[in-house]
């Protein structure tokens, strides 16, 4: 299989700005003000942002020093030294400075109006809440006093499972005020996911809420909170944000935030903030990587604050007149980011509800007069897809910028914002949990180009690292940061010697922070992100850590080593997982083992983890330090130069891997397997297992019971049709939903283009049974009957000709019988025959039996399942009462109808009394091809007159009679001269073939078969 490789050739030169800032806004921006300040302080000149950026990275110490002074942050202690080292990994900023994050976030900036709200909390079903800065401050102070009283000391870890509410902000700020770290998880996270993060921190306090009907909780929250609490033995207490009773099973003290705040309220608004060292831990965030448990990333107070102040004031131009609404959960790093915006004087809006419709967030933007709105590409896409135009629906006059992060914003989305939101800049920002900030983001002074972030983060020397072999025309490379920056995390919690931290960011390119993103930087300094570069796999938008696949494989003794990598085609979203395995000598990677791997991965990790390709290789590429290099394999599979080839101990392994993957690819395409001539059953089983993604599949398992869908059914047909070089009918899997029946069908297909015979159950030996279709010609309605029958021999269904467009349906019963007998005789050349017909099919089997007898064959069993007859067949003494009754039934309705409508009923009667006149029943809502068959069948039914039959027959009669249909029994009694046995079956005509009535029918039928 060959698929086109990604083309990443961009022309950044010839592009037109999607937005250009107004020169007066540029002049008034805080960035311009700061640049002027730096010019004054340093005596240099910065004609544009590019020049200023160069200064900020070349003299980053000076830059950060000036920023700290200019921003007016509250701190104590000397600013010297600014930074202790030139190496990013070792550097520490402002070691002699002390500050309080909460103090800086909560203090009133000069000139701000303390009567205005600074925190607005929107809810779905509760009124909006507003807090002014003094109100928020007093709550934080009261709550932090309570925390101290509960025994929290600096360095403690406080964890929270919360939504993004007002209380969460209070809890987070108060935790940092007492020197504890604050870590969040969202309530939707699974218990295991929460515990794998929080357990590492040995937290003393858990903050959560017991509210059962909190939005969007798919499972009982109280059950899960008990599990979480049980899994965190280090906890001393729980603080609930609400008043709901604690679920039983929690034996820790449970405090209420409201009570704690009330009892520790201090009317004086004079706070004595405790200032901690600049590098005192503040937030611990989590990142799920490629190996081991999630990393606990510790961020320092000063670094976080300084980076955020820089991004908010310089890059986003946030000031006291702004309202920021960044839609985020409390567990995402953007929560911390938007909280810090208070330090720039801006008001923040939080919303904890779901996105019920495209308008949800825009309504918040409009009603809260938001000036800077942060969202994600999927939300913008949602609005675009449904044709929602915020500009048309809502007043958005206050909005001046739209921020977007989380995934890559497509070029067209910039235009959409321009057209449907307004002439505001779209600022695509990107960075991450790892640095609690951004590497690339917006600028109030620069134009916006579609698909690009406006600039690199000031002070951070962000570069594109390209491999030496790489062709010069390719401008994409690994995102690295080459200088120290304050928001570099302090380390990983629990990683005492820093090994994990080093391996995560500094091992790949010594001395450089390697972020794991692919980036392209234009001459002007704008940037375009191209997805992840590291081993984290992104399939269909879901991030998958290969560690979860490795964990499953560890339990397989045949596997010595394995590597899972993502192979991307065309665009980052359409990747697939390629799994390379190194086996011990005794193992072989055959089809069975492949399916075993897939099944185990699907079961123990998730179906999303199931590799698309599994290839056996001799060895995996390792670096000189002995680390497996997933990225080398990935580069190679994507057809781009392997960037770290020099770092590999065994670069030769790559070519062998490429060959094996290609071979495995071909195999999974099935060509090799077909030439090898797998037995038909195995061929089908293979296709099923591939399409359904599970294995092993039993020969008699039902396709749809295994999770098969229409699309998957057609995918199976697609594969098998290619194998056999013939078209399998679209309805194949409806008619033959097991591997066995499908194999039989395929065998039939290979004899004839179209077979009337469909094998329903293969049986274990014995005489076949033939079931003949009803008036619509299809036979999958026999499926349940066949399953219930447990007939020893094979059960075949006979379906009508003309169900596909290639052939015309029969219009005469005797023609049908003759045609079907040709097919029957292929399966069973000579009698005795078992024939059963349903409804109209009763006439056909009756005629088939007549023809077989005429040919000298023996009929063992002739079954008529509620077999219809046209009323014209009725003897006159039965026909007249029926027709009269019908006339009365219909005429009665006519009598009440307006007079003009009586004529049709008279005509109807005339048509019925004179059977030669065509008449049709009410048209049915069925597919046209079926209707065509049905019309032909109706014609055949009307024309057929059963001749006397000297043998016996069995009639299964639906107890619930249909109105408008005559009772055919008098005719059957007359023509079946050998004796007609009648079994009543509960249910109506069509229902006897379906559960639950089919059970009764199957029992009666099996009994009659056994007796005859």
Site for other proteins in 377-396 (CB under 8 A): 378, 381-382, 385-387
Residue range at the interface with other proteins (CB under 8 A); choices 159-167, 459-467, 497-505, 756-764: 159-167
Binding segment for other proteins (CB under 8 A), chosen from 64-72, 280-288, 413-421, 715-723, is 715-723
Q: Which is nearer to other proteins, 144 or 443 (CB)?
A: 144
CA separation for the pair 939, 802 (Å, rounded): 15
Pick out residues in 318-337 that bind other proteins (CB under 8 A). Answer: 329-330
Measured CA to CA, the distance from residue 821 to residue 831 in angstroms comes to 12
Residue with tokens 């179906």: 607
Q: Is 991 in the site for other proteins (CB under 8 A)?
A: yes
Provide φ and ψ at 237, rounded to 5°.
Answer: -160, 165
Q: Which strand (E) or helix (H) includes residue 399?
A: none
Span from 26-34, 632-640, 790-798, 925-933 in contact with other proteins (CB under 8 A): 925-933
One residue of 718, 750, 764, 807 binding other proteins per CB under 8 A: 718
Structure tokens at 135: 């109100």
Is 447 one of the binding residues for other proteins (CB under 8 A)?
no
- Is the distance from CB of 511 to CB of 326 less than 8 angstroms? no
Q: Which is nearer to other proteins, 294 or 353 (CB)?
A: 353
Among 11, 248, 805, 900, binds other proteins (CB under 8 A): 805
Task: Convert residues 86-105 into a mask of x (bound to other proteins by CB under 8 A) and - (unbound).
Answer: --------------------
Q: Does 867 bind other proteins (CB under 8 A)?
A: no
Q: What are phi and psi of 560, to 5 degrees?
A: -90, -40
Is residue 9 close enough to count as binding other proteins by CB under 8 A? no
The count of other CB atoms within 10 Å of the CB of residue 228 is 23
Q: Minimal CA–CA distance to 943: which of 816, 757, 773?
A: 816
Least Å from the CB of residue 734 to other proteins: 6
Would you say 344 and 182 are in contact if contact means Cβ atoms under 8 Å apart? no
Closest CA to 742 of 700, 790, 711, 778: 700
Contacting other proteins (CB under 8 A), which of 96, 499, 710, 750? Answer: 710
Tell me whether residue 429 is exposed, middle or buried, using C-beta atoms within 10 angstroms of its C-beta: 0 to 12, 13 to 18, 19 or more.
buried
679 binds other proteins (CB under 8 A): no
CA-CA-CA-CA torsion sign (738, 741, 745, 747): positive
* Given 59, 236, 242, 951, the residue binding other proteins (CB under 8 A): 242
Per rule CB under 8 A, is residue 672 in the interface with other proteins?
no
For 884, the token pair is 């009269």
Q: Which residue has the tokens 């993060």?
A: 197
- Mutual angle of helices 60-71 and 301-309, in 10-degree steps: 80
CA distance 538 to 363: 32
Rounded Cα gap, residues 335 and 792, in angstroms: 67
Interface residue with other proteins among 230, 702, 818, 1012 (CB under 8 A) is 702
Instruction: Work out which of 681, 930, 1004, 1008 binds other proteins, going by CB under 8 A.
Output: 930
- Out of 84, 321, 571, 671, which residue is the one contacting other proteins (CB under 8 A)? 571
**598-617: contacts with other proteins (CB under 8 A):** 612
Name the minimum Å distance from CB 256 to other proteins: 7
Stretch that binds other proteins, among 45-53, 131-139, 752-760, 903-911 (CB under 8 A): 131-139
Residues 6+ apart with CB under 8 A from 90: 84
Between CA 644 and CA 650, with CA 645 as vertex, the angle to 5 degrees is 125
How many residues of this chain bind other proteins (CB under 8 A)? 107
7-23 exposure pattern, b = at least 16 Cβ within 10 A, e = fewer? eeebebeebeebbebee
Other C-beta atoms within 10 Å of 199: how many? 16
Q: Output 439 or 838, the one with its CB closest to other proteins.
A: 838
Among residues 42, 731, 883, 939, the one that binds other proteins under rule CB under 8 A: 731
Selected range binding other proteins among 46-54, 64-72, 698-706, 1003-1011, rule: CB under 8 A? 698-706
Burial 331-366 (b: 16+ CB within 10 A, else e): bbbbbbbbbbbbbbbbbbbbbbbeeeebbbbbbbbb
Site for other proteins in 163-222 (CB under 8 A): 163-168, 186-188, 209, 211, 213-220
How near is the Cβ of 706 to other proteins at its closest, in Å?
5
And the tokens for 745?
A: 């069908």
Q: Is 803 in the site for other proteins (CB under 8 A)?
A: yes
Smallest distance, other proteins to C-beta of residue 595, A: 14
Query: According to the binding rule CB under 8 A, does residue 367 interact with other proteins?
Result: no
**Contact stretch for other proteins (CB under 8 A) within 465-473, 546-554, 655-663, 710-718:** 710-718
**Binding residue for other proteins, selected from 17, 596, 909, 929, defined by CB under 8 A:** 929
Distance CA 523, CA 922 (A): 73
Q: What part of residues 533-552 is at the interface with other proteins (CB under 8 A)?
A: 540-541
| Binding residues among 622-641 for other proteins as defined by CB under 8 A | none
Which secondary-structure segment (H or E) carries 59? none
Asked if residue 298 lies in contact with residue 491, where contact means CB atoms within 8 angstroms, the answer is yes
Interface with other proteins, residue 272, by CB under 8 A: no
Is 258 among the residues that bind other proteins (CB under 8 A)? yes
Judged by DSSP in three states, 328 sits in coil
Shortest distance, position 592 Cβ to other proteins, whole Å: 19
Q: In the complex, what is the shortest distance from the CB of residue 461 to other proteins, in angstroms, rounded to a whole number?
A: 33
Query: Does residue 126 bind other proteins (CB under 8 A)?
Result: yes
Interacting residues of 922 by C-beta distance below 8 A, sequence separation 6+: none
Instruction: Report how far residue 867's alpha carbon sits from residue 989's, in angstroms, rounded to the nearest whole number.
Output: 9
For residue 804, the minimal CB distance to other proteins (Å) is: 7
The window from 363-371, 481-489, 630-638, 721-729 that contacts other proteins (CB under 8 A) reads 721-729
> For other proteins, which is the closer residue by CB, 61 or 381?
381
């Amino acid at each position: 299989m060959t698929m086109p490789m990604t083309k990443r050739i961009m022309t950044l030169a010839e592009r037109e700005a999607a937005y250009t800032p107004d020169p007066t806004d540029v002049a008034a921006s805080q960035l311009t003000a700061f640049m002027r300040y730096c010019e004054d302080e340093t005596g240099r000149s910065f004609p544009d942002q590019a020049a200023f950026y160069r200064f900020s990275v070349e003299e980053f110490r000076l830059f950060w020093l000036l920023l700290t002074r200019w921003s007016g942050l509250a701190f104590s202690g000397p600013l010297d030294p600014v930074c202790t080292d030139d190496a990013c990994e070792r550097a520490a900023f402002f070691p002699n400075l002390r500050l309080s994050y909460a103090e800086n976030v909560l203090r009133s900036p000069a000139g701000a109006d303390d009567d205005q709200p600074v925190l607005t909390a929107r809810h779905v079903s509760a009124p909006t809440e507003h807090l002014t800065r003094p109100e928020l401050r007093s709550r934080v102070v009261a709550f932090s006093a309570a925390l101290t009283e509960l025994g929290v000391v600096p360095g403690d870890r406080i964890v929270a499972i919360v939504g993004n509410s007002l209380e969460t902000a209070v809890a987070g700020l108060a935790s940092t005020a007492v020197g504890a770290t604050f870590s969040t998880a969202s309530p939707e996270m699974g218990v295991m996911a929460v515990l794998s993060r929080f357990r590492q921190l040995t937290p003393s306090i858990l903050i959560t809420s017991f509210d059962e009907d909190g939005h969007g909780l798919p499972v009982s929250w109280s059950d899960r909170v008990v599990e979480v609490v049980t899994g965190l033995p280090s906890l001393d207490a729980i603080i609930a944000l609400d008043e709901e009773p604690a679920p039983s099973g929690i034996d820790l003290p449970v405090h209420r935030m409201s009570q704690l705040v009330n009892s520790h309220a201090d009317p004086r608004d004079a706070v004595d903030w405790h200032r901690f060292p600049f590098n005192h831990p503040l937030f611990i965030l989590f990142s799920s990587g490629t190996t081991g448990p999630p990393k606990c990333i510790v961020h320092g107070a000063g670094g976080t604050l300084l980076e955020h102040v820089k991004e908010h004031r310089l890059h986003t131009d946030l000031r006291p007149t702004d309202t920021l609404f960044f839609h985020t959960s409390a567990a995402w790093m953007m929560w911390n980011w938007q909280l810090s915006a208070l330090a720039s004087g801006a008001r923040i809006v939080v919303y904890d509800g779901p996105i019920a419709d495209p308008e949800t967030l825009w309504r918040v933007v409009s009603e809260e007069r938001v000036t800077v709105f942060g969202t994600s590409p999927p939300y913008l896409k949602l609005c675009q897809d449904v044709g929602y135009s915020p500009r048309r629906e809502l007043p958005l006059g206050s909005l001046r910028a739209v921020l977007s992060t989380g995934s890559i914003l497509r070029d067209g989305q910039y235009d959409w914002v321009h057209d449907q939101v307004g002439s505001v800049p779209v600022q695509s920002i990107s960075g991450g949990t790892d640095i609690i900030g951004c590497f690339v983001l917006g600028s109030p002074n620069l134009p916006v180009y579609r698909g690009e972030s406006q600039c690199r983060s000031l002070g951070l020397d962000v570069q594109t690292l390209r491999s030496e072999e790489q062709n010069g025309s390719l401008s994409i490379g690994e995102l690295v940061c080459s200088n120290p920056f304050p928001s570099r995390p302090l380390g990983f919690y629990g990683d005492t010697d820093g090994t994990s931290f080093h391996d995560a960011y500094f091992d790949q390119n010594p001395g450089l922070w390697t972020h794991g993103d692919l980036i392209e930087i234009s001459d002007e300094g704008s940037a375009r992100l191209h997805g992840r570069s590291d081993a984290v796999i992104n399939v269909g938008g879901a991030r998958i850590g290969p560690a979860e696949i490795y964990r499953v494989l560890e339990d397989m003794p045949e596997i010595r080593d394995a590597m899972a990598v993502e192979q991307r085609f065309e665009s980052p979203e359409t990747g697939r997982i390629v799994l390379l395995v190194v086996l011990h000598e005794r193992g072989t990677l055959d089809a069975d083992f492949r399916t075993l791997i897939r099944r185990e991965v699907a079961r123990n990790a998730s179906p999303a983890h199931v590799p698309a390709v599994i290839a056996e290789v001799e060895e995996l590429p390792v670096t000189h330090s002995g680390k497996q290099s997933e990225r080398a394999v990935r580069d190679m599979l994507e057809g781009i130069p392997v960037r770290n080839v020099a770092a590999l101990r065994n670069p030769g392994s790559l070519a062998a891997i490429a060959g094996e993957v290609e071979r495995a690819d071909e195999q999974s395409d099935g060509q090799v397997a077909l030439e090898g001539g797998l037995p038909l059953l195995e061929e089908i089983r293979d296709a099923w297992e591939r399409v359904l993604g599970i294995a092993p599949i039993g020969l008699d398992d039902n396709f749809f019971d295994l999770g098969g869908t229409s699309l998957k059914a057609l995918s199976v047909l697609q594969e098998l049709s290619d194998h056999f070089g013939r078209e399998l009918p679209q309805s194949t899997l409806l008619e033959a939903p097991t591997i066995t029946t499908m194999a039989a069908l395929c065998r039939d297909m290979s004899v004839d283009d179209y077979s009337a015979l469909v094998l329903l159950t293969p049986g274990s030996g014995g005489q076949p049974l033939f079931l003949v279709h009803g008036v619509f010609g299809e036979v999958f309605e026999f499926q349940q009957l066949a399953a219930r029958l447990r007939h020893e021999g094979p059960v075949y269904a006979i379906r009508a000709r003309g169900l596909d467009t290639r052939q015309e349906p029969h219009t005469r019963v005797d023609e049908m019988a003759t045609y079907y007998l040709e097919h029957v005789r292929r399966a069973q050349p000579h009698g005795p025959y078992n024939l059963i017909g349903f409804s109209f099919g009763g006439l056909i089997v009756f005629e088939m039996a007549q023809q077989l007898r005429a040919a000298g064959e023996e009929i063992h069993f002739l079954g008529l399942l509620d077999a219809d007859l046209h009323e014209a067949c009725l003897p006159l003494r039965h026909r007249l009462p029926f027709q009269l009754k019908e006339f009365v039934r219909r005429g009665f309705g006519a009598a009440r109808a307006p007079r003009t409508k009586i004529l049709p009923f008279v005509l109807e009667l005339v048509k019925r009394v004179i059977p030669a006149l065509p008449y049709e029943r009410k048209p049915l809502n069925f597919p046209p091809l079926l209707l065509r068959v049905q019309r032909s069948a109706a014609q055949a039914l009307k024309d057929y007159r059963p001749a006397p039959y000297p043998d016996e027959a069995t009639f299964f009669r639906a107890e619930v009679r249909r109105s408008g249909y005559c009772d055919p029994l008098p005719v059957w009694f007359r023509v079946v001269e050998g004796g007609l046995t009648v079994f009543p079956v509960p249910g109506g005509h069509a229902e006897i073939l379906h559960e639950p009535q089919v059970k009764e029918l199957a029992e009666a039928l099996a009994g009659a078969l056994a007796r005859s």
